[in-house]
Structure 1
Amino acid sequence: MDTDNTPTPRREIYDAGHKDSLPGSLVRSEGEGPGQDELVNAVYDALGTTFDFLLTAYGRNSLDGEGGPLRASVHYREKFANVFWDGERLVLGDGDGEFFRLRPRELLDVVAAGLARQIVKPELLYVLQSGALSESVADVFASLVKQYALGQSADQADWLLGAGMLAPGSKAGALRSLAAPGTAYDDPRMGKDPQAAHMDDYHDLPVHRDNGGVHLNSGIPNRAFHLTATAIGGNAWEKAGRIWYDAVTGGKLTEEATFADFAELTAAVAEELYGTGSELDAVNKAWRTVGVL
């Protein structure tokens, strides 16, 4: 491909100045050099890495597939301990300093997760199992972006998400573990990681509680992906990631998909891509191991 025609990111970083109004002041645009604000620089780089990952691994040109801009606002409110998408951009606070804070050198997966939700969000209703799948797919691709950036194979990766969100002194490895949901943290202030790793531990909650357990139950499909990727081996974003990506973006995922629906879809995609060999076996075994099939 002619390098002149290679898609490039269009990044815009804003500073909200610890206020509620968004987007704030534009502080760095595409092609501009780094400034003094480490968080601005880190988010700019993380947007670029995520863009590069999507393009290189799956031929996707930005979040919308059409080269759309990647925007983010940092320093949102005072002691705001969250990251969210406001419909047009990723919004990041600085953390409360007690439990959570954003460490610029360790926020790639946090940014990637926020961006990845926009790939799957139109496809899945954010409630019950479909919502947990939405959370899971974001976690999966955030982990893959991190592994891609670090050049790690499936067996080399730590499969942890959000370590850069935790303040010093907490007895926690991360916010979530894809390899062992329910073990990411056990801290007197935060409590114990409540994520389920098997359908036997599924949190059957009403929709007014965590949208029916979208954060708690996403550990089940997360673990299924980890098992699939490590069984296949190599770089997780290649075969395992391709199966998950095609399942999400291939037009066959229904908005109310259950775990079982997604398991069957990933198996169908695996067979379509790789036949009835070890890749399909890995997918089916993974879903059986977490109690879905």
Structure 2
Amino acid sequence: MCTHPHRHTLHCILPPYILSRIAEHGPPGLRAAAMRGLLVDPTIRMVRAATGGPVIGALARLRTAAGVVRAATPLRTIRDAQGEPEAPGAVIVRREGDAPTGDAAVDEAYDGLGATFALFQEAYGRNSIDDAGLPLDATVHYDRDYDNAFWDGTQMVFGDGDGQLFNRFTIALDVIGHELAHGVTEKEAGLAYYGQSGALNESISDVFGALVKQYLLRQTAEEADWLIGAGLLTPAVNGVALRSMKAPGTAYDDPVLGRDPQPADMAGFVRTNQDNGGVHINSGIPNRAFHLAATAIGGHAWERAGQIWYDALLDPATRANTDFAGFARITRDVAARRYGSGAAETRAVAGAWAAVGVDMS
């Protein structure tokens, strides 16, 4: 299910409510796979919690303490799990600088890690996920018919999808950016993965996942599709993506997957004990706020809107329990510090949060 209220959690792109829908309404063969996913993913979390796992950037921080920081270039390693539920995969199939392999999942993972590194380094001066040169690892071909991708605190892991409802999970660049951005949030703010702070955690990953794709394609805010997971759904599914930042609640409406449950503003805020208090559901509200701010500011979203969100993520006022209103105030304040209290950027940020019903008073 890939949810947990504490830090160092397993973050999955596919929400548990979608897996639950497949387990209940999907074809017989996929029901079993969905049930296995709902059972296996929490087990992975518990094992990582029990062992502690390598804390993000531990080796990089040791290098930093010793005065040795890697140059701001990616160091990627892709492993192949060969259909086994093991991560990291047993076989290294591509290292930094190696030529493409011809295996789409391997090469998409490699390119996606590089594109994410490039956004954070070139747009924000950040040296990898932990800002200390953390090597970027990924495992592909995880398990069989595995409908998910996740960041476990040390690496990315990708399933191949079931081929009926979902394609391979390396196919969507914004999914890769989304999952790696969880590592940035973990390192900087440690937003608790429950309720509004958890929805912010998910939203920030959607923001930077979208920006990774826009940066690679050099799209303006107006040109971008603002979809998370475009390409993941097969033609058998009535939908375009997992989420829409521009129009939350419209990404899919399908007999098996159900209807996209995301609200577009606080009037539709969902109060639930499922999905860690609705972290994948209510993230639609801050997602739309970012889209509104970015399109109001105009140009390339990673430049000014993205800079404001990145500054806010790093701001000391952003803490584990920060809620929507708190983060809205922080984005407004950092925009004012960077661009001026009466600047168009600051007005756009304040107006965007007001439009989704978040009260900053």
**TM-score normalised by the chain length of structure 1:** 0.95
Q: Which structure 2 residues correspond to residues 105-124 of structure 1 after superposition, within 5 A?
A: 106-122=171-187, 123-124=190-191
Provide the secondary structure at the position in 1 that maps to 2:150: strand
Maintained 8 Å contact 1:102/1:166: no
Match of 1:234 in 2: 299
Tell me how many residue pairs correspond in the alignment. Answer: 286
1:11 aligns with 2:76: yes
Which structure 2 residues correspond to residues 57-96 of structure 1 after superposition, within 5 A?
57-96=123-162
Q: Does 1:56 align with 2:160?
A: no
| 1:257-276 equivalent positions in 2, closer than 5 A | 257-276=322-341
Note the 1:1-293 alignment, pairs <5 A.
Answer: 7-24=72-89, 25-102=91-168, 106-122=171-187, 123-206=190-273, 209-276=274-341, 277-293=343-359
Contact 2:202/2:280 (CA < 8 Å) preserved in 1?
Answer: yes
Which amino acid in 2 is paired with 1:161?
A: I
C-alpha distance in structure 2 between counterparts of 1:284 and 1:115, whole Å = 28
- Is the alpha carbon distance of 1:13 and 1:126 closer, same or farther for their aligned partners in structure 2, counting shifts above 3 Å? same
Ranges of 4+ aligned residues in structure 1 off by more than 6 Å: none
The answer to whether the 8 A contact 1:102-1:164 is kept is: no
Q: CA contact under 8 A between 2:153 and 2:183: conserved in structure 1?
A: no
CA distance in 2, matches of 1:136, 1:31: 32
Q: Which moved more, 1:91-100 or 1:209-218?
A: 91-100
Shift of 1:101: 1.5
> Cα distance 1:118–1:103, how it changes in 2: closer, same or farther (>3 A)?
closer
SS of equivalent residue, structure 2 residue 234: coil
* Counterparts of 1:269 and 1:86, CA distance in 2: 30
CA distance in 2, matches of 1:136, 1:98: 28
Displacement of 1:30: 0.5
Change (3 A) 1:64 1:99: same
Q: Is the 8 A contact 1:178 1:226 kept in 2?
A: yes
Q: Which amino acid letter does the alignment assign opposite residue 173 of structure 1?
A: V
- CA drift at 1:121: 2.5
Could you tell me which amino acid in structure 2 is paired with residue 167 of structure 1?
A: T
Q: What is the CA-CA distance between 1:103 and the residue it aligns to?
A: 6.5
Question: Which residue pairs with 2:62 in the alignment?
Answer: none
Task: Indicate if the aligned counterparts of 2:164 and 2:236 stay in contact, CA closer than 8 A.
Answer: no
CA distance in 2, matches of 1:121, 1:101: 28
For residues 88-143 of structure 1, give each alpha carbon's deviation from its aligned partner in whole angstroms, at most 9, with x where no partner exists: 11000001222111265x42111111101111134200000000000000000000
Give the secondary-structure state (helix, strand or coil) at the position aligned to 1:165. Answer: coil
Alpha-carbon separation, structure 1, partners of 2:231 and 2:128: 24
Aligned-CA RMSD value: 1.2
In 2, Cα distance between the equivalents of 1:103 and 1:250?
32
Cα distance, 1:188 vs. partner? 1.7
Structure 1 Cα separation of the partners of residues 158 and 282 of structure 2: 25
Report the AA paired with residue 88 of structure 1: T
- Letter aligned with residue 130 of structure 1: S
Give the Cα–Cα distance (whole angstroms) in 2 for the partners of residues 85 and 145 of structure 1. 16
- Normalization by structure 2: what TM-score? 0.77
Contact 1:131 1:214 in 2 (8 A): yes
| Alpha-carbon distance, 1:292 to partner | 0.5
Within 1, Cα distance between the matches of 2:316 and 2:97? 35
Check whether the contact 1:103–1:164 (CA below 8 A) recurs between aligned residues.
Answer: no
Over the matched positions of the two proteins, sequence identity in percent amounts to 52
Instruction: Please report how far the alpha carbon of residue 6 of structure 1 lies from its aligned counterpart in structure 2 after TM superposition.
Output: 5.8
Q: Is the 8 A contact 2:149 2:169 kept in 1?
A: no
Distance 2:232 2:242 in 1: 8
Structure 1: segments with no counterpart, 5+ residues = none
Letter in 1 for 2:286: P
